[in-house]
Homo-oligomer: A and B are copies of this chain.
């Protein structure tokens, strides 16, 4: 089992990029494993896949108030944009063993580079529409108010 080769903080507040445990095996196929208690700062209650994305189409375009997520490319290549209202970073996810931990209050956008891209997300919370901030101006306003109050 390959241990994590690297783990780094993004410039985006609270975002961590990590190499997940994986084994390369040209005979039997590759394996990537996430032991939740070892890797995640939360115990996931939900997972989802996005797939069959049209080229150039963007998903996400929201932030969560409470929910944290781990995002990775299960197949193909995705472009992941993260934005904390002050700094942003774009990451290309092109291998299942690269996971990105996204905390609450980070605006996220995902686009598939090709139609066969598959994004896997592990989420800390069950689905709750009230947890979503879908308006970027509202997101920025909440960020500004938090900075002003702190």
Contacts and interface: CB of A to CB of B under 8 A. Distances in A.
Contact of A37 (B54, B116, B126): B126
B54 A29 contact: yes
**How many protomers of this protein does the assembly include?**
2
Interface stretch (A41-49, A80-88, A137-145): A41-49
B47 A34 contact: yes
Given A75-B75, A75-B118, A118-B75, A48 B36 contact: no
A96 B120 CA distance: 11
Contacts of A51: 29-30, 32, 74-75, 96
Contacts of A127: 33, 35
A103 interface: no
B30 A54 contact: no
A29 B48 CA distance: 13
A27 interface: yes
B45 A35 contact: yes
A46 B36 contact: yes
A101 interface: no
Most B CB contacts (10 A, CB to CB) among A30, A32, A51 go to A51
A120 B73 CA distance: 12
